[in-house]
Structure 1
Amino acid sequence: MARWEPNASQRLSEAALELFAERGYENTTVQDIAQRAGLAKSSFFRHFKDKRDVLFGEDALLEPLLAGIAAAPPQAGPLQVMGYALDAVGQEVFISERRSAVARRRTVIDAHPDLQEREGLKSMSLTAALSAAMERRGAPGPLAEVSAQLGILALKMAYERWTEPENTDGFAVVARQAITEVEDAISAVRSRAQ
């Protein structure tokens, strides 16, 4: 096998997702992934720490989310800011060419409790980063935290809908629907509290 192969990281990720779907996460080895990708096992470890890192390695969501928050107009309300963040993720990460890979990733994680736990930890980390970004925009601590949590809720809702096999809408559409539903839920809670 060649020492250097173009797109090795992407090939390894695709091979891993295929094998996780075929054999299950626990029944797939690093060697299996490398072989499927046509690479040496050592190539795998140049790109990933372990097979779980294929699913949770570099967080591709963080930078676009933060960029979207920073790009939101100063007069935007908290959920509008989160809408800008989700728009940025839709333009950079959740693009139509990646939908099948993202859906396979979701299926693998949904089938394995340890991976679900790791996904939850990732969500907590993103929430903390979004809260800090909202504070940098001038939102007081509690408002920044609640805004971040609601933004992550909308992100989760949009992610789940976008990866459903019957969905034909782009991520931006389902993300805006999720933001609207979160806003509607807040209004419903307020009206019942009065």
Structure 2
Amino acid sequence: MGRWEPNARGRLEQAAMELYGERGYEQTTVAEIANRAGLTERTFFRHFADKREVLFWGGGALQELLVSSVADAPESTAPIDAVAAAFEGAGARLQERREHSRQRQAIITANAELRERELIKLASFASALADALRRRGVADTAASLAAEVGIAVFRVAFERWIDTGQPDFPQLIRESFDELKVVTGHGRRRDLDR
């Protein structure tokens, strides 16, 4: 096998997703993932710390996107609207990999350790968003509330996107934030297809 293989990370990710789907996360080994990808275990560990990271490696980039979107929002933007816009941007990025997101979610849902890791990732997103809001001058409590509510709205929209055939994830996120405004008495009820 050559020393350099093109798109090793992508091949390892694809092999892992296939094996997790076929055999289950717990039953799949790093050796099997590397073998299916036509690579070595050493190459696997150059790209991923462990087999869990195959499912979570993009979290850092997504968090950076969320934080930069909040930071770049116009000064007059309300905290919750800055968070909503950040999640719409993230939704557009995730939409490009809908089938991958669907497969990933099924794997995570089937494993308690992975569900815990997903919750930790979402908590990290909330903390980073709250910090970004505080840097914009938003008070501590308001920043924490906007970030945590944003995570909750995103999760609801994500579940709807995964479970339905609706292709426009950013639109689902927008509708979910609009529904939040109705629930809190700060918006008008509109006919949302549910």
Q: Do they superpose with TM above 0.5? A: yes
> How far off is 1:24 after superposition?
0.3
Point out the more displaced range, 44-53 or 65-74: 65-74
Q: How many residues align?
A: 185
Aligned to 1:15: 15
Q: CA deviation at 1:46?
A: 0.5
Q: Aligned Cα RMSD in Å?
A: 1.4
Q: How does 1:1-194 map to 2 (within 5 A)?
A: 1-59=1-59, 60-91=61-92, 93-96=93-96, 98-164=97-163, 166-187=164-185
Q: Distance in 2 between matches of 1:23 and 1:182?
A: 39
The one-character-per-residue Cα deviations of 1:104-163 (angstroms, maximum 9, x if unpaired) are 110000000111111111111111100000101111000000000011111111222222
Q: How far is 1:58 from its partner?
A: 4.4
Contact 1:79–1:183 (8 Å) recurs in 2: no
- Per the TM alignment, residue 187 of structure 1 is displaced from its structure 2 partner at its CA by 2.1
Q: Supply the AA of the counterpart residue of 1:11.
A: R
* Matched-pair contact (CA < 8 Å) for 1:64–1:89: yes
1:9 and 1:16 map into 2 onto residues whose CA distance is 11
CA deviation vs aligned residue, 1:18-61 (integer Å, no higher than 9, x gap) = 11111000010001111111111111010001101111234231
After TM superposition, which residue ranges in structure 1, 4 or more long, deviate above 6 angstroms? none
How far is the alpha carbon of 1:5 from its aligned partner? 1.1
Residue range with higher mean Cα deviation, 17-26 or 168-177: 168-177
**Aligned AA for 1:37?**
A
Structure 1 residue 185, shift from structure 2 partner: 2.2
Question: Separation in 2 of the partners of 1:99 and 1:72?
Answer: 26
Question: Counterpart of 1:157 in structure 2: which amino acid?
Answer: V
Stretch of structure 1 that moved more, 44-53 or 75-84? 75-84
Letter in 1 for 2:121: K
Structure 2 gap segments, 5+ residues each: 187-194
8 A contact 1:24–1:108 mirrored in 2: yes
Q: TM-score, normalised by structure 2?
A: 0.90
Alpha-carbon shift at residue 65 of structure 1 (Å): 0.5
Identity %: 41
